[in-house]
Amino acid sequence: MKIEEYLASLPRSIISGEEVQLPNKAFKELFQFAKLDKEDTLYHLGCGDGKGLAIAIEEFGVRKCVGIDNDQKKISSARKLFEEKKITNVTLRCEDITTSDISDATVVLFWFTDQQVVEKMTERFSTLKEGCRVITIWGPLPGFLPDKVDFPYILNVVPFKKAKDLKEQLLAIFGKDCVDFVTAWEYAERYTKAIGSPEAGNDRFLTIIQSLIIWINAKNLGVACGDEIPQPIKTYISILRTFFNIDVEYLLSHS
Ligand SMILES: C[S@@+](CC[C@H](N)C(=O)[O-])C[C@H]1O[C@@H](n2cnc3c(N)ncnc32)[C@H](O)[C@@H]1O
């Protein structure tokens, strides 16, 4: 089956990422990466149970935090967490991030993959105060060059810098002239390790899929190293097809 069919066979909540919550380790790395400090006004969009905001306040001394989530249950459990911790300098709002007021943010944590949401929010982020840092994970804001990358963490600072094309954006993320198998694998692994829970048993499977997708995208954009398909890529394509009945080869454009 095509990889899209495989993805469509997974539970909807997995694909939409609704139930996904970053591990504490990732929050700490992200905040260090963005040099979060006490003067910042942090917005966590899709804040879930509020654990990220608690880390920002307790470990980074941030004085003003706002968490927005459109799920009332999650906002209630975040409220409970802050009551237990006796933290008062956080505002929790049960709202849709695409319409919610975020105008006083100096740092925004934004981990969404829904294309419509990402496009809408990119427009809104461009109007934020100069110097505002927008943290994304895995991909930069569409159309813009990142200001800082420690993959999978990516920072765009207002005013955003336009990328010439997707190719320039991709190379800025990988910090290389071309993408080979080792780079694709290393970056895929960094992503699975950053967002996965430490006890996840299926890391290797995810890394295989992610590295194939990275390499195939690079190839289609003309930034893969060399003309040949590397042997490990051929091997993993064949493992996925033989043992998991998942086809990714058709994604390669044969132009
Ligand atoms: C932090 S996001 C992470 C995963 C993300 N959905 C993705 O695409 O990768 C998950 C959180 O965002 C919340 N959420 C999803 N859509 C939202 C929206 N339009 N406005 C506010 N919160 C939203 C969910 O309730 C959940 O707590």
Query: Can you list the alpha helix ranges (DSSP code H) found in the chain?
Result: 3-8, 12-16, 24-33, 51-60, 72-85, 115-125, 166-174, 181-195, 203-220, 231-244
Is 250 exposed, middle or buried, given 0-12, 13-18 or 19+ CB atoms closer than 10 A?
Answer: exposed
Closest ligand 1 atom to residue 71 Cα is 25
Is the minimum distance from the CB of 112 to ligand 1 under 6 angstroms? yes
In a domain, 6, yes or no: no
Specify whether 98 is located in the same domain as 137. yes
Specify whether 110 is located in the same domain as 37. yes
**Encoding tokens for residue 190?**
């960094």
Specify whether 121 is located in the same domain as 235. no
Q: Any idea what the CATH number is for the domain that residue 147 is in?
A: 3.40.50.150
Element containing residue 108 per DSSP (H, E): strand 107-110
In a domain, 2, yes or no: no
Last residue of a domain, one of 130, 163, 196: 163
In a domain, 169, yes or no: no
**Residue 116, CB half-sphere, CA atoms under 13 Å: how many?**
3
| Domains identified in the chain, total number | 2
Please state, in angstroms and rounded to a whole number, the distance separating the CA atoms of residues 170 and 237.
22
Specify whether 158 is located in the same domain as 180. no
In angstroms, how far is the first alpha carbon of the chain from the final one? 23
Last residue of a domain, one of 107, 131, 163: 163
Range of the domain at 57: 12-163
Please state, in angstroms and rounded to a whole number, the distance separating the CA atoms of residues 111 and 46.
8
Whole-number Å distance, alpha carbon 226 to ligand 1 midpoint, is 39
pLDDT tens, residue order, the chain (255 aa): 888 888 787 777 766 667 778 999 999 999 999 999 999 999 999 999 999 999 999 999 998 999 999 999 999 999 999 999 999 999 999 999 999 999 999 999 999 988 899 999 999 999 999 999 999 998 889 999 999 999 999 999 999 999 998 888 888 998 888 999 999 999 999 988 888 776 666 678 888 999 999 999 999 988 999 989 999 999 999 999 999 999 999 999 865
Q: Which residue out of 13, 22, 71, 114 has the highest number of ligand 1 atoms within 8 Å of its CB and is therefore the one to mutate?
A: 71
Whole-number Å distance, alpha carbon 3 to ligand 1 midpoint, is 23
Is the minimum distance from the CB of 74 to ligand 1 under 6 angstroms? yes
Closest ligand 1 atom to residue 46 Cα is 12
Whole-number Å distance, alpha carbon 20 to ligand 1 midpoint, is 8
Burial code (b: 16+ CB inside 10 Å, e: under 16) for 30-64 equals bbebbebeeebbbbbbbbbbbbbbbbbbeebebeb
Whole-number Å distance, alpha carbon 233 to ligand 1 midpoint, is 33
